[in-house]
A and B are shown apart, each in its own frame.
Chain A
């Protein structure tokens, strides 16, 4: 498939992309996370697309997954309204606060801290410590 974006044309191996997106969607909706951090590398590294094309398009793709996942989880009785009403305002508030802090912190540092934190959490989940 050829994608045109701001005057440039990109050749995309859409079959590979769709299979990857499909599998990613199964896992992410099964475990209830968005999928952005996997979708962005899939499109930028896997499909070789530039960042400026990936940011908006990956968000669009993920939105479909979140929408369908939400409906299906609701259908299977996995949705707790009270719990949602606690977390939802917090998520919105976080979205407002974060950009204001963003300029003051180094993204490299945040990512390094995040990866260390995630390894600790992962080891805990795997029952290794």
Chain B
């Protein structure tokens, strides 16, 4: 016979284990304060340091562009450019082939268009790589069978993915970009880079620090990411960073923009755009031409003002008003139909805003915690809860809740939407079934009995 006290002791014990596990688990940076969203000094020349070396602790600090026949080596540390991007960056090193780049303005407000021009290597295409300094998490679960027919089941994870990233290409590549856009979600970033001949342009995310975990069924059951594998070498890092880029940005159209007008003499001009809702803060702009000859980086600062708010873990800024209104509407509707709003809220959030599904799942869940707790409190006041039943099933759910969140990062956004689609169909069926006459008449009786019991319970609570 399980007594109530035993159950509570067991529960506390489990929670203690859980909290121990959490504290000994991966060190997790606390969500950064939203202070980044208000850059105090526009175009501050003070700290241009981190810009082009987006390396984590382990990654090589030398910029990749130093490899190859880059003649820009005298200026090989482009990160320490002191001036806040003078328009028309002077080409410091003496000999050709150098690539220059100038931006029309160095700051925009909540996104905007910036004209760029410069000079590449005559006869060669020019690419412009743009990335934000703000970083976000990105993960990719590799379960595709390799050449030997075995599935690797490896989880690639980074916390250093640029929140925004784009490669601008010569206009002549438009048809190729379109063909990748047409593939929808089934495209391959590495293939696209190759087909667009843009591999030279891809450099910043190639150096991000990637953690690799070997997932196993057992590890999943105990809710762990699995054993951490040794760090990747530069080539593998580059390869897998591409999968992470795709997992973060999803669509080819978000990554490739064929908008540069490149003349045969190497001069180019075009417009780069920082989207509304992009990450605030600094963006680095670098032109690349020939065999990875890179220009000095130009810095553009994106400012956002309230009610636009930057979600630092999601890497998206949005007008705070709309999620508030949406959550309000859905939660009212949720209470009216007798179901939590999470079902409808989550898919809407990932459909309307470019939010990662992991962030949506992980942030919507705690919002109902307090309303559930207050509901339990209200029921418990009138002793309307069977603790024995609730806690026994609760323990089973505790185990399930331990495993589920780990699985979220193993699926892609499109898989998330797909499964959610089916869940919603099932739920819609359940909802509809609850409006059928048979159910309604049965429910009416149940409701009457329930009201009667509740009345008695309330009376008993009062009498005490």
Contact = CB atoms under 8 A, between A and B. Distances in A.
Interface stretch (B170-178, B233-241, B432-440): B432-440
Contact of B344 (A67, A116, A117): A117
A101 B264 CA distance: 68
Contacts of A81: 31, 33-34, 313
Nearest to B31: A81
Nearest to B383: A6
Contacts of B440: 108
Contacts of B333: 110, 114
Nearest to A80: B313
B331 interface: yes
A79 B366 contact: yes
A24 B397 contact: yes
A91 B385 contact: no
A76 B367 contact: no
Interface in A35-60: 35-38, 41, 43, 49-53, 55-60
A34 B404 CA distance: 12
A36 B326 CA distance: 20
Interface stretch (B65-73, B107-115, B161-169, B346-354): B346-354
Given A50-B449, A87-B323, A92-B370, A65 B397 contact: yes
Contact of A122 (B326, B338, B409, B422): B422
A107 B234 CA distance: 60
B25 interface: yes
B325 interface: yes
B331 A91 contact: yes
A98 B340 CA distance: 12
Given A87-B323, A92-B370, A68 B401 contact: yes
A9 to B, nearest CB: 11
B405 A80 contact: no
Size category of the binding interface on chain A:
35 or more
> Among the interface residues B334, B368, B393, which one has the most CB atoms of the partner chain A within 10 A?
B393
Contacts of A88: 366-367, 370
Given A24-B397, A94-B334, A126-B418, A79 B363 contact: yes
Interface string B414-434: 001111111111011111101
Interface residues of B, number: 121
A76 B446 contact: no
Interface stretch (B82-90, B144-152, B304-312): B304-312
Contacts of A121: 344, 347-348, 424
Contact of B450 (A23, A35, A52, A65): A52
A35 B110 CA distance: 38
A89 B390 CA distance: 28
Contacts of A87: 323-324, 327, 363-364, 367
B404 A27 contact: yes
B390 A76 contact: no
Contact of A80 (B31, B389, B403, B420): B31
B389 A53 contact: yes
Given A30-B407, A87-B323, A76 B371 contact: no
Given A79-B363, A87-B327, A31 B427 contact: no
B447 to A, nearest CB: 7
Contacts of B19: 71
Nearest to B374: A95
Contacts of A91: 327-328, 331, 341, 367-368, 371
Interface string B15-43: 00011001001101101011000000000
Contacts of B335: 94-95, 98-99, 102
Contact of A78 (B26, B312, B363, B393): B363
A90 B309 CA distance: 16
Given A1-B392, A79-B362, A114-B337, A94 B399 contact: no
Contacts of B428: 114-116, 118-119, 122
A25 B401 contact: yes
> Among the interface residues A24, A84, A89, which one has the most CB atoms of the partner chain B within 10 A?
A84
A96 to B, nearest CB: 9
**Top 9 A-B pairs ranked by shortest CB distance?**
A25-B400, A78-B362, A32-B361, A94-B331, A60-B390, A29-B404, A33-B342, A73-B362, A98-B335
Given A32-B361, A55-B450, A76-B28, 11 more contacts: A25-B398, A27-B404, A27-B423, A29-B405, A33-B365, A35-B397, A58-B390, A64-B395, A79-B366, A93-B328, A110-B333
